[in-house]
Structure 1
Amino acid sequence: MNRRQMLMAALPLVAAPTLVMAQAQPAPKPAAKAEARRDPYAPTEVAIRPDFEVGSIVVVSKDFFLYHVVAPGRAIRYGVAVGKDELVWKGRATVGRKTEWPSWTPTPAMIKRKPAQYGKWADGMPGGPTNPLGARALYLYDAKGNDTAIRIHGTTEPGSIGRAVSNGCLRMRNEAVMDLYEQIPVGTPVYVY
């Protein structure tokens, strides 16, 4: 085992957020550079720590990025909106279910916090272009198979990406979540830091 391998083995998984971008990245193509200048949250292939399992999803909430690991040390990075203040959810989960144009029901806690805004939807809102979950949703389940009530989903507010504004879920632009949805099977591990 060389020195680099020993260092990587010694780093705990929770140190991952500080090391996600630690490796040098290849020079992006001119079009990718221009796109990144215009939109830092556009999907971009990046270098990450090589010990994240291929196929997994890693979210670094404080940086507003979701990484889909596509190869050892490589990921597609997407911009996300995360939970505001005390509503940030962190932990390990598994994609337990996937839905196109999902229906939405606010949680009892959401209704209690903002009854005027959420109370009218206590029985649910059908899926569609005005639904806050957007075009796709990945439902996160805990290790015991219980629904965490946390989703990776689209949004009707694409300007919220890169901000802490949600009730705990991870929002993506609809085109980004549609792309991710096609690549992620049920059972995919998800790590949220």
Structure 2
Amino acid sequence: MKSHSTALTRRRLLTGAAAMTALSACAARVPSSASTSTLSPEQQIGGVPISQIVDGYGLIEDAGYRLPPVPPKYLQGLNRRALVPYPGYESAGTIEADLHAKLLYWVQDDGSAWRFPVGVGRQGLSMSYDTTIKRKEKWPSWTPTQNMLRREPEVYGEFAGGVPGGLANPLGARALYLYQGSRDTYYRIHGTNDLASIGNSGSAGCIRMFNHDVIFLFPKVPLGTKVVIRDYSDSVAIEGEAVANRGYEQPATRVPAEEIYAAAAESGPPQFGAASNVESFGY
């Protein structure tokens, strides 16, 4: 992988059920001396009020990990999974990545496509050739490449031994590994804990998706799926100039290696989510 940059987010995971109170239009008069009760605040899950949880982006328990709901502020406009009429030129079964519009399409047989918002780093933007998914991993581990270690030893050297899979891992909940022939390109389509990066560009990284979205896509795309990169001129022609240039470049965020390893050690099975209580990191 060329590079990754994420920021892990603090989350408290709470469980509960919403309460609904029905008020009669013709309520009986309450004596002025009677005491009135105060409505309880709405329960939350992972800091998100239950009534605000967006369909498809709620609490997920997966392989012993608990992913909190995605706050609705990150799911505005195009930043939400949707089944749409496919606006491109690729055949059914293909994944088309528009790295300029920060959108990824999985093309269906009936002329529709599942559209996902993505975040992309500078290295991801350099992708200009077609690839094939030849490997898929759940809760993958991550190790910086030799090129990364040579290029920025002060950044990646601490992680030369690799970061185990889990909530603290920069590849998130799933990774799809992109190859040209038998050669690993080190590009990935993967999850992320850096929610603010979706719909934007980063100083590093490949193609990131909300963990909820990559978990949705992962079992549906078989090995051998073709991944096509849409060029800028097609992005403008298909999406319009504003969408083809959406988002902004975020600065890199670094978290000390000891925090990442500690979070990774505490985050996974059989215990849940201690990593959700620390700031996260990834490339």
Q: Same fold (TM over 0.5)?
A: yes
Q: In structure 2, do the counterparts of structure 1 residues 179 and 127 end up closer, same or farther at CA, with 3 Å as the change threshold?
A: same
The offset of 1:112, in angstroms, is: 3.5
Secondary structure at the residue paired with 2:154?
helix
Aligned to 1:92: 130
Q: TM-score of the superposition, structure 1-length normalised?
A: 0.74
Per-residue deviation, 1:167: 3.3
Residues 1:126 and 1:35: Cα distance change in structure 2 (over 3 Å): closer
Identity of aligned residues (%): 41
Structure 2: 5+ residue stretches without partners = 1-53, 56-71, 231-283
Matches within 5 A, 1:91-170: 91-142=129-180, 144-165=181-202, 167-170=204-207
Which one scores higher on RCO, CA 8 angstroms, separation ≥ 6? 2
In 2 relative to 1, CA 166–187 (structure 1 residues): closer, same or farther, beyond 3 Å? farther
Could you say which structure has the larger radius of gyration? 2
Q: Higher helix share goes to which structure?
A: 1
Are 2:86 and 1:45 aligned? no
| Letter paired with 2:147 | A
CA deviation after TM superposition for structure 1 residue 117, in Å: 2.5
Structure 1 unaligned residues grouped into runs of 5+: 1-30
The 3-state SS of whatever aligns with 1:176 is helix
1:175 corresponds in structure 2 to: 212
Structure 1 residues 39 and 115, CA, compared in 2 at 3 Å: closer, same or farther? farther
Alignment of 1:67 with 2:110, yes or no, is no
Q: Residues 123 and 206 of structure 2 are in contact (CA less than 8 Å); yes or no, is this contact kept in structure 1?
A: no
Q: How high is the TM-score relative to the length of structure 2?
A: 0.52
- In structure 2, the CA distance between the partners of 1:64 and 1:145, relative to structure 1 (3 Å rule), is same
SS at match of 1:109: helix
Give runs of ≥4 in structure 1 deviating > 6 Å.
Answer: 34-37
